[in-house]
A and B are shown apart, each in its own frame.
Chain A
Amino acid sequence: MAEQMKVIYERPKSWANKVTHYCPGCTHGVAHRLIAELVDEMDLLDKTIGVWPVGCSVLGYDYFDFDSVEAAHGRAPAMATGIKVTNPDNFVFTYQGDGDLASIGMAEIVHAAARGWPITAIFINNGNYGMTGGQMAPTTLLGQKTTTSPLGRTPQDNGFPIRVAEMLAQLDGPAYIARVSLDSPVNIRKAKSAMRKAFNAQIRGIGFSLVECLSTCPTNWRLTPVESMERVRKEVMPYFPLGEFKVVEGVL
């Protein structure tokens, strides 16, 4: 019987076989899994350097078997630039949350995108600062209650949420910019496909790539995992539409 059994699902080889510290229902684990699967499938383990953020995924380097560095808050794109310049044939990605990338690190991500050098950013948009306890982020929706917008975010007091993918797609530097969602099996499959294109944009030397992942934060949203997925579909997607915002020629 054994010889007839075919492996259809297994632990990715680039996964460090550790239990993550993420909350139940959080989609960091899904995004991590997709990265590990692609590193395996694209045979990148030996040439990958992950650049990790400050935020819930600060310990992301513990979960993978490739080389990693831990950046200062928001500075991952600058650090990735320094790493890529020294070894252009390596595969260098940043993994950043919305506070990290869209607030304190906005200058670094915009200029990395504008330079257009082939590095890849995986951008986790869960609408709040998860690790510090659910404060308002640049991506917090209008009306959304957080620990620092207890009555709900208002444009008067807090300005408007930032659509990072659309904004960076205006620049000439990027080769591939997409927004995906990690709320459902079909969207996770689409997310993996977008990440594959982003990785390819780097490997083929075409340019900078970014995949924004709509993600959940059940603990700080005060919702169950299932309710969190529903909230992504009902409330988050209308403001942050899914899609590819930039695909230059040659990106597969």
Chain B
Amino acid sequence: MSNKVLMKGAEALAEGAIQAGCRYYFGYPITPQNETPEYMSRRLPEVGGRFVQAESEVASINMVYGAACAGVRVMTSSSSPGISLMQEGISYISGSDVPCVIMNAMRGGPGLGNIAPAQADYFQAVKGGGNGDYKRIVLAPSSIQEGVDLFIDAFELADKYRMVVMVIVDGLIGQMMEPVEFKTRVDVSTLKTPEWATVGRHGRDHANIITSLTLDAPGLEQWNLKLQAKYAQVELAESRIEEYQMDDADYAIIAYGTMARIAKTTVRIARAQGIKLGLLRPITVWPFPAKQIQAYIGKLKGTLTVELAYRQLFEDVQLTLCDKMPLGWYGRGGGIVPGPQEILTAFEEQFGKGR
């Protein structure tokens, strides 16, 4: 018998985080993800956790920072303008080597923009946002079930590498309902307090200090080199991609999240018309699955990058494939979501009938 339950995305993802052992959530209301904090406020007390509504996203992320220093599984969620406010805290958390998970339900921008689905925070998520040389692991589910499953990985990866892990979705995934199954349940009693955590000495023979400050330049350079070595290790070990209908593909769409989900239908329509089209769907957008995509050099006649943004994902595709094949691009912004046929039309405009 299936254990599937029908749930709204923003709530299912929250439950996914709880199943992953998250017991602390700090957040501030912003559409389109309010069901996540609302759900957390109901659910966390039931499992011995705490929900705190902060006075701002600036406060949210710094509360997350504090809880992360105590070595617990902690998260916040927000949407684009709120995530912008968190960039300072994300930089500090990254510079302090403490783990946490952040979910961004991306919406149309810039500025206040709108609340419709978008992927225009790609650069902010994968390239930077806050000050300094740091990286986050960025996971991009394209269904509610995948999001729920990825939350387990998000917390595991955050703890393993002592890094910020960001889960990027959009209002579409947040607001739709799908059947989901919670397959893994982390027993929080098995989670040990890390030896670096600032939880009071309680007999420990030294004080633990967590800081992102290193005043002497050679010392800070060494610290940066350590971070870079960690990021290199993550790039080697953790990049993920879904390869859909790629065995005999002449062409591939490259897309992630909501856009990839729609592009799958494009692939099916194209295949029915005799076009050998496949889909390369990065599941981690950082680390970017460059190696997996480069494996198709010499096999593909071209790729079409499709995104809800203007040439952001495309820039990583360009860095990955350079001039090894024709690189097409199609994107919509401001919260407009193209349908499968629109993507196929864009493909045909750039690659003809694909034969």
Interface residues of A (CB under 8 A from B): 16, 45-49, 51-52, 58-59, 61-62, 64-72, 75, 78-87, 90-91, 107-108, 110-111
Pick the residue among B24, B52, B54, B62 that contacts A72 (CB under 8 A): B62
| Most B CB within 10 A of own CB, among A49, A82, A108, A110 | A82
Expressed in whole angstroms, the Cα–Cα distance for A108 and B65 within the complex equals 14
14 A-B pairs with C-beta separation under 8 A: A49-B199, A58-B213, A65-B201, A66-B200, A70-B210, A71-B62, A81-B52, A82-B62, A82-B70, A85-B52, A86-B50, A86-B66, A90-B200, A108-B58
Pick the residue among B63, B74, B200, B215 that contacts A79 (CB under 8 A): B63
Within the complex, what minimum Cβ distance (angstroms) separates B234 from chain A?
Answer: 24
Q: Could you give, for residues 94-119 of chain B, a 1 whenever the CB lies within 8 Å of some chain A CB and a 0 otherwise?
A: 00100000000000000000000000
- Whether the Cβ atoms of A85 and B50 lie closer than 8 Å is yes
Pick the residue among A61, A87, A91 that contacts B209 (CB under 8 A): A61
Q: Considering the complex of A and B, which 9 residue pairs feature the smallest CB-CB distances, nearest first?
A: A82-B66, A70-B211, A78-B62, A82-B63, A79-B66, A111-B55, A75-B62, A82-B67, A86-B70
Expressed in whole angstroms, the Cα–Cα distance for A67 and B202 within the complex equals 10
Within the complex, what minimum Cβ distance (angstroms) separates B72 from chain A?
Answer: 5
With a CB–CB cut-off of 8 A, which chain B residues contact A78?
54, 58-60, 62-63, 65-66
Expressed in whole angstroms, the Cα–Cα distance for A80 and B92 within the complex equals 15
- Whether the Cβ atoms of B201 and A107 lie closer than 8 Å is no
With a CB–CB cut-off of 8 A, which chain B residues contact A110?
55
Pick the residue among A51, A65, A67, A71 that contacts B199 (CB under 8 A): A67
- Whether the Cβ atoms of B203 and A83 lie closer than 8 Å is no
- Whether the Cβ atoms of A83 and B52 lie closer than 8 Å is no
| Most B CB within 10 A of own CB, among A86, A90, A108 | A86
- Whether the Cβ atoms of B198 and A75 lie closer than 8 Å is no
Known contacts A66-B207, A69-B209, A83-B198; decide if A107 and B55 are in contact (CB<8 Å): yes
- Whether the Cβ atoms of B200 and A49 lie closer than 8 Å is yes
B124 at the interface (CB under 8 A from A): no
Instruction: Across the interface, name the chain A residue whose C-beta is closest to B92.
Output: A72
With a CB–CB cut-off of 8 A, which chain B residues contact A108?
55, 58-59, 62
With a CB–CB cut-off of 8 A, which chain A residues contact B64?
82
Within the complex, what minimum Cβ distance (angstroms) separates A199 from chain B?
Answer: 15
B26 at the interface (CB under 8 A from A): yes
| Most A CB within 10 A of own CB, among B24, B50, B199 | B199
- Whether the Cβ atoms of B63 and A81 lie closer than 8 Å is yes
B212 at the interface (CB under 8 A from A): yes
B89 at the interface (CB under 8 A from A): yes
Expressed in whole angstroms, the Cα–Cα distance for A192 and B202 within the complex equals 25
- Whether the Cβ atoms of A85 and B207 lie closer than 8 Å is no
- Whether the Cβ atoms of B212 and A67 lie closer than 8 Å is no
With a CB–CB cut-off of 8 A, which chain B residues contact A84?
66
Within the complex, what minimum Cβ distance (angstroms) separates B23 from chain A?
Answer: 8
Instruction: Across the interface, name the chain A residue whose C-beta is closest to B212.
Output: A70
B17 at the interface (CB under 8 A from A): no
Not counting A68-B207, A69-B210, A80-B66, a sample of 9 additional A-B residue pairs whose C-beta atoms are within 8 angstroms of each other reads A46-B200, A48-B200, A49-B198, A69-B211, A75-B62, A79-B65, A81-B52, A82-B26, A85-B66
Within the complex, what minimum Cβ distance (angstroms) separates B58 from chain A?
Answer: 7
- Whether the Cβ atoms of B59 and A86 lie closer than 8 Å is no
Expressed in whole angstroms, the Cα–Cα distance for A61 and B350 within the complex equals 60
Q: Could you give, for residues 64-81 of chain B, a 1 whenever the CB lies within 8 Å of some chain A CB and a 0 otherwise?
A: 111111101010000000
Q: Could you give, for residues 178-214 of chain B, a 1 whenever the CB lies within 8 Å of some chain A CB and a 0 otherwise?
A: 0000000000000000000011111100011111110
Instruction: Across the interface, name the chain B residue whose C-beta is closest to A73.
Output: B88
Known contacts A69-B209, A81-B66, A83-B69; decide if A75 and B52 are in contact (CB<8 Å): no
Instruction: Across the interface, name the chain B residue whose C-beta is closest to A110.
Output: B55
Within the complex, what minimum Cβ distance (angstroms) separates A6 from chain B?
Answer: 29
With a CB–CB cut-off of 8 A, which chain B residues contact A62?
209
With a CB–CB cut-off of 8 A, which chain B residues contact A51?
66
Expressed in whole angstroms, the Cα–Cα distance for A85 and B24 within the complex equals 8
Expressed in whole angstroms, the Cα–Cα distance for A84 and B62 within the complex equals 13
Instruction: Across the interface, name the chain A residue whose C-beta is closest to B208.
Output: A67
Pick the residue among B58, B63, B200, B208 that contacts A107 (CB under 8 A): B58
B312 at the interface (CB under 8 A from A): no
Expressed in whole angstroms, the Cα–Cα distance for A97 and B343 within the complex equals 56
Question: Which of B243-291 touch A at CB < 8 Å?
Answer: none
- Whether the Cβ atoms of B58 and A75 lie closer than 8 Å is yes
B320 at the interface (CB under 8 A from A): no
Within the complex, what minimum Cβ distance (angstroms) separates B199 from chain A?
Answer: 6
- Whether the Cβ atoms of A45 and B52 lie closer than 8 Å is no
- Whether the Cβ atoms of A72 and B88 lie closer than 8 Å is yes
Pick the residue among A48, A85, A91 that contacts B67 (CB under 8 A): A85
Expressed in whole angstroms, the Cα–Cα distance for A16 and B211 within the complex equals 17
| Most A CB within 10 A of own CB, among B55, B72, B200, B210 | B200
- Whether the Cβ atoms of B59 and A83 lie closer than 8 Å is no
Pick the residue among B72, B201, B203 that contacts A67 (CB under 8 A): B201
Question: Which of B212-246 touch A at CB < 8 Å?
Answer: 212-213, 215
B41 at the interface (CB under 8 A from A): no
With a CB–CB cut-off of 8 A, which chain B residues contact A85?
24, 50, 52, 63, 66-67
Expressed in whole angstroms, the Cα–Cα distance for A49 and B204 within the complex equals 13
- Whether the Cβ atoms of A47 and B200 lie closer than 8 Å is yes
Expressed in whole angstroms, the Cα–Cα distance for A84 and B63 within the complex equals 10
- Whether the Cβ atoms of B62 and A79 lie closer than 8 Å is yes
- Whether the Cβ atoms of A67 and B209 lie closer than 8 Å is yes
Known contacts A46-B200, A87-B200; decide if A72 and B89 are in contact (CB<8 Å): yes
- Whether the Cβ atoms of B72 and A86 lie closer than 8 Å is yes
Within the complex, what minimum Cβ distance (angstroms) separates A114 from chain B?
Answer: 8
